[in-house]
Amino acid sequence: MEEESDTRKINNSFLRDHNYATEADIISTVEFNSTGELLATGDKGGRVVVFQREQESKSQPHRRGEYNVYSTFQSHEPEFDYLKSLEIEEKINKIKWLPQQNAAYFLLSTNDKTVKLWKISERDKRPEGYNLKDEDGRIRDPSTITSLRVPVLQPMDLMVEATARRIFSNAHTYHINSISVNSDLQTFISTDDLRVNLWNLEITDRSFNIVDIKPANMEELTEVITSAEFHPQQCHTFAYSSSKGSIRLCDMRLAALCDKHCKYFEEPEDPATRSFFSEIISSISDVKFSHNGRYLMTRDYLTVKVWDLQMENKPVETYQVHDYLRGKLCSLYENDCIFDKFECVWNGSDSVIMTGSYNNFFRMFDRNTKRDVTLEASRENSKPRAILKPRKVCVGGKRRKDEISVDSLDFSKKILHTTWHPHENIIAVAATNNLYIFQDKVN
């Protein structure tokens, strides 16, 4: 299926030339909503761009699936914390959609410190008729007003507005790395390096600190939280991953404070492969529950692992994302790439896993057939409806046609953020400042 993916550009203006892209244009998160009708991206400039899927039309049935810009707004602005003399970047770290509750759409966006709840709504009517003004806006002489006019609503061109409904601030001392909405649709968590805070979506002036791993003495700090997520169905369960490669599962029913975990997933390290980089590459950059809530997927620098919630001592599946980099860790350490935080996603039925790599490559692993594929998101092969060709990286020795050698990989082109449509085989891949949307071949 993936090999036959079909590429489309979604928006010409969005596919800006890499060379001219500014830092602010770099996409920092991408997320489908729960129906897949909308797709949101956030960038380093603090902007959120929401795309809407085009409705199917009879005249152009194949156009179904194209995503067009629906709304663009500035979610976060750069700020300065005068008390701590600290600059707060506007970069959007995460976006999470809320299930739709009325005609409007809601999403949470966060930068390092502040989470905001945005409402995206449509307006297609506008009131007309003033008492004190003419149709053309001239002020009327008050003495000529002999009757009252009630404004009447008239249709107008559709306008999409984004309004910040709530601002959840002042709760994080460290940088927020993830947010997750609870299945009770009443609360969400925001997680920074050392703490997890629980919020009610309607209350902005207080949050409850449910996990705190900050040691009394910061010099004893050996571990930070890298990501956290609620269970998709069980409102009381959440998981958080750490820089030491472990995942803790917490049950909020047991106690108000979840400093004690109820499950601890960790694979014992193989002493044979131990090296200077072991600890760095085992740090988990993303943790995701499967849609059915049975598995956890984690991504570390070189692998994706799938854990069964019933088995804590080792993952049930491990996939090598780019094992060919194992020999290059030293140079990746020198250029800081080893600290890149790759995310990972499930497809709608939890049967396929996708995650990113370098050189604009991204990887898919079919859990049932155990087949995997490397694909490339690039402007050259992303002509509308071109089929993506699998790519291969060769390690040493002789290089075959179509293969690319490890040494010629471009490490500045990394795919960190991807998202999968909740029901269909449509994926969105953020490659630096470009967003690519690929989908199953129609027909």
The residues binding other proteins (CB under 8 A) are 99-104, 106, 119, 121, 123, 125, 127, 130-133, 142-143, 145-153, 165, 170-171, 183-186, 195, 197, 202, 205-209, 233-236, 252-257
Of 23 and 259, the one with the shorter C-beta distance to other proteins is 259
Report DSSP state, residue 139.
B
Of 155 and 271, the one with the shorter C-beta distance to other proteins is 155
Could you tell me if 354 and 345 are in contact, meaning their C-beta atoms sit under 8 angstroms apart?
yes
Of 189 and 344, the one with the shorter C-beta distance to other proteins is 189
Of 155 and 268, the one with the shorter C-beta distance to other proteins is 155
Report the nearest approach of other proteins to the CB of residue 168 (Å).
10
Of 218 and 256, the one with the shorter C-beta distance to other proteins is 256
Of 150 and 218, the one with the shorter C-beta distance to other proteins is 150
Report the nearest approach of other proteins to the CB of residue 177 (Å).
16
Of 207 and 246, the one with the shorter C-beta distance to other proteins is 207
Report the nearest approach of other proteins to the CB of residue 171 (Å).
5
Q: Which two tokens stand for residue 126?
A: 């506008």
Of 22 and 170, the one with the shorter C-beta distance to other proteins is 170
Could you tell me if 419 and 39 are in contact, meaning their C-beta atoms sit under 8 angstroms apart?
yes
Burial 337-356 (b: 16+ CB within 10 A, else e): bbeebbbbbbbbebebbbbb
Could you tell me if 365 and 319 are in contact, meaning their C-beta atoms sit under 8 angstroms apart?
yes
Q: What is the dihedral of CA 52, 58, 63, 66, to 10 degrees?
A: 10
List CB contacts of 431: < 8 A, sequence separation 6 or more: 27, 360, 377, 378, 413, 414, 415
Q: Which two tokens stand for residue 64?
A: 């179904």
Residues in the chain: 443
Report the nearest approach of other proteins to the CB of residue 423 (Å).
17
Report the nearest approach of other proteins to the CB of residue 350 (Å).
20
Could you tell me if 95 and 107 are in contact, meaning their C-beta atoms sit under 8 angstroms apart?
yes
Could you tell me if 112 and 173 are in contact, meaning their C-beta atoms sit under 8 angstroms apart?
no
Report the nearest approach of other proteins to the CB of residue 252 (Å).
8
Q: Which two tokens stand for residue 436?
A: 């690519």
C-alpha triplet 383, 411, 26: angle, nearest 5°: 65
Which of 63, 117, 110 has its CA nearest to residue 90?
A: 110
Report the nearest approach of other proteins to the CB of residue 382 (Å).
37
Report the nearest approach of other proteins to the CB of residue 64 (Å).
22
Of 236 and 379, the one with the shorter C-beta distance to other proteins is 236
Report the nearest approach of other proteins to the CB of residue 155 (Å).
11
DSSP-assigned states of every residue in 196-210: EEEEETT--S--EEE
Cα distance between the two ends of the chain: 12
Report the nearest approach of other proteins to the CB of residue 241 (Å).
21
Sign, CA dihedral 376-393-337-296, equals positive
Q: Which two tokens stand for residue 91?
A: 């970069």
Of 146 and 217, the one with the shorter C-beta distance to other proteins is 146
CA distance 285 to 26: 19
